[in-house]
């Protein structure tokens, strides 16, 4: 069998599921919870827990009502020294067929500022195996202590607290959904995709070639409130819409914009949420990444942001099978924080150069254009973008495609 990256290994022939991650191989998996008993407590509201027929014996079905953010079913299962010897965990899931995700979450060492999340699809209605290496449990916060799990480092899985199922506050999609879980195990070894998808030539050569040929492109715009079209400052005008219009006028091409941006979120939280858009857009032509303000407010430092941006580029490439070009948009300054986020902007440049990703330096651009009147680029709150600021970013992204595409 060839190396697959699917987070879903179907037990039914022909079941096509397209979010990708590793497969467990070799050795004996050690049970964490066979799910044959009542080991999970239901959330206080908007959720139920019940025993159902499982993949093996019995399983536990988790049902969440609409607007279930902040509701968790909690177990007594938690890390042990054996977890540090494992490559990760696996479990079986049977979804309700909906286009939503379930979420597994841990708190590390009883420190609620160090939370780790993993999202999995529930659109399959047959029992499907999910394999999760430790690297795919993603930190959900940007404080200085929040680091990736590492059995050989200082964030050992053995110190993970009890295992929870549910969605934390940053989930925009908290609609009603249900899934059954069975046979949670430690996996001794996991074959992981280690292929280097870094392009050998121009970082955005593929998407630029399609634009030059007048071909349609699909663009995923990851971001916070500067990109989220539901935010008040973006409802009438927003940079993704200006960008789409620019693609049409400049290249006579059509850009389909898939916009998963959520106001108030940090980059790490949006990495957890990637399976949401991968369900419908598994191989976009371009993924843009624009974050920083909320990360900075949560304590993100320049070196940590550079490491996170590198990981982001690598994850996007892995999860899209190397088909997506990646454009890093540097952290945008705010009139209220004109110079404070320079380290984060530099971190974006460093990561893009290291990973040969596209770079759009709006931090430097807006600093140059706004040196005499910075307020013109921002809304009344001096943080979110005015129409001019949105147009400036859209034009810069359009120009970055050519600059990074040749």
In which residue are the tokens 């997506």 written?
A: 324
Q: Band of the pLDDT at 22, cuts 50, 70, 90?
A: low
Query: Which of 83, 82, 77 lies closest to 149 in space, CA to CA?
Result: 83
Examine the pLDDT at 148 and tell me if it is beyond 60.
yes
Query: How confident is the model over 325-346, as pLDDT tens digits?
Result: 999 999 999 999 999 999 999 9
Give the H or E element holding residue 206: helix 205-212
- In angstroms, rounded to a whole number, what is the distance separating the alpha carbons of residues 152 and 147? 13
Collapsed DSSP state (helix, strand, coil) of residue 72: strand
Residues making up the chain, counted from first to last: 406
**Using CA atoms, how far apart are residues 394 and 362, in angstroms rounded to an integer?**
10
CATH 2.60.120.430, the chain: domain bounds:
9-191
pLDDT digits (tens, 9 = 90+) for 128-139: 999 999 999 999
What superfamily in CATH does domain 9-191 come from?
Galactose-binding lectin (2.60.120.430)
**Beta-sheet pairing, 177-187 with 30-33:** antiparallel
Q: pLDDT tens digit string along 207-231?
A: 999 999 999 999 999 999 999 999 9
- pLDDT for the residue 173: 80
**Architecture of the structural domain at 205-403:** 3-Layer(aba) Sandwich (3.40)
This prediction's pTM:
0.92
Q: Return d(Cα 77, Cα 33) in angstroms, integer.
A: 7
Please state whether 365 falls in left (phi above 0), alpha (psi between -120 and 50) or beta.
alpha
At 384 the three-state DSSP class reads: coil
- CA-to-CA distance for 41 and 97, rounded, in angstroms? 24
pLDDT-based confidence at residue 38 (cuts at 50, 70, 90): confident
**pLDDT of res. 69:** 92
Determine the average pLDDT of the residues in 278-289. 97
Q: What local confidence, expressed as pLDDT, does residue 210 receive? A: 98
Q: Which pLDDT band holds residue 17 (cuts at 50, 70, 90)? A: very low
Output the six-digit token pair for 204: 């955005």
CA distances from 208 to 54, 216, 308, 327, 401 (A): 49, 11, 26, 12, 6
Using DSSP, how many helices (H) and how many strands (E) does the chain show? 9, 20
pLDDT digit string, tens, across residues 97-133:
999 999 999 999 999 999 999 999 999 999 999 999 9
Q: Where in the chain are all domains bearing CATH 3.40.50.1110? A: 205-403
Helices 362-369 and 387-403, axial angle in degrees (round to 10): 130
The predicted structure's pLDDT at residue 174: 87
Cα-Cα-Cα-Cα torsion 82, 85, 87, 88, nearest 10 degrees, comes to: 20
- Per-residue pLDDT of 301-323, as tens digits, reads 999 999 999 999 999 999 999 99
Name the pLDDT band for 144 (thresholds 50, 70, 90).
confident
pLDDT above 90 (res 20): no
Measured CA to CA, the distance from residue 336 to residue 250 in angstroms comes to 34
Residue with tokens 């899985």: 157
């Amino acid at each position: 069998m060839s190396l697959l990256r699917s987070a879903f290994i179907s037990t039914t022939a022909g079941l096509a599921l397209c979010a990708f991650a590793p497969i467990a191989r070799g050795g004996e998996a050690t049970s964490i919870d066979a799910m044959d008993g009542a080991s999970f407590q239901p959330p206080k509201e908007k959720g139920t827990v019940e025993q159902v027929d499982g993949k093996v014996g019995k399983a536990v079905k988790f049902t969440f009502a609409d607007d279930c953010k902040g509701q968790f079913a909690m177990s007594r299962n938690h890390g042990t020294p054996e977890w540090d010897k494992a490559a990760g965990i696996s479990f079986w899931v049977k979804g309700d067929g909906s286009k939503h995700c379930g979420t597994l979450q841990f708190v590390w060492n009883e420190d609620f500022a160090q939370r780790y999340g993993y999202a999995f699809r529930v659109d399959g209605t047959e029992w499907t195996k999910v394999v999760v290496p430790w690297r795919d449990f993603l930190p959900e916060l940007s404080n200085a202590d929040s680091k990736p799990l590492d059995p050989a480092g200082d964030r050992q899985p053995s110190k993970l607290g009890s295992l929870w199922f549910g969605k934390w506050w940053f989930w925009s999609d908290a609609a009603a959904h249900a899934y059954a879980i069975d046979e949670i195990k430690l996996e001794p070894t996991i074959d992981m995709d280690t292929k280097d998808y870094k392009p050998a030539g121009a970082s955005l050569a593929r998407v630029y070639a399609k634009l030059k040929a007048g071909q349609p492109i699909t663009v995923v715009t990851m971001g916070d409130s500067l990109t989220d079209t539901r935010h008040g400052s973006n409802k009438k005008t927003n940079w993704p819409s200006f960008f789409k219009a620019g693609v049409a006028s400049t290249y006579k091409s059509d850009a389909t914009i898939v916009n998963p941006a959520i106001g108030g979120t940090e980059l790490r939280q949006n990495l957890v949420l990637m399976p949401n858009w991968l369900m419908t857009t598994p191989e976009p032509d371009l993924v843009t990444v624009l974050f920083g303000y909320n990360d900075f407010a949560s304590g993100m430092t320049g070196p940590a942001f550079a490491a996170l941006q590198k990981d982001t580029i690598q994850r996007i490439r892995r999860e899209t099978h190397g088909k997506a070009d990646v454009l890093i948009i540097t952290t945008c300054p705010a009139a209220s924080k004109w110079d404070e986020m320079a380290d984060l902007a530099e971190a974006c440049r460093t990561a893009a150069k290291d990973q040969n990703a596209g770079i759009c330096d709006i931090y430097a651009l807006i600093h140059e254009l706004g040196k005499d009147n910075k307020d013109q680029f921002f809304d009344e709150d001096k943080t979110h973008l005015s129409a001019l600021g949105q147009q400036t970013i859209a034009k810069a992204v359009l120009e970055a495609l050519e600059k990074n595409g040749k």
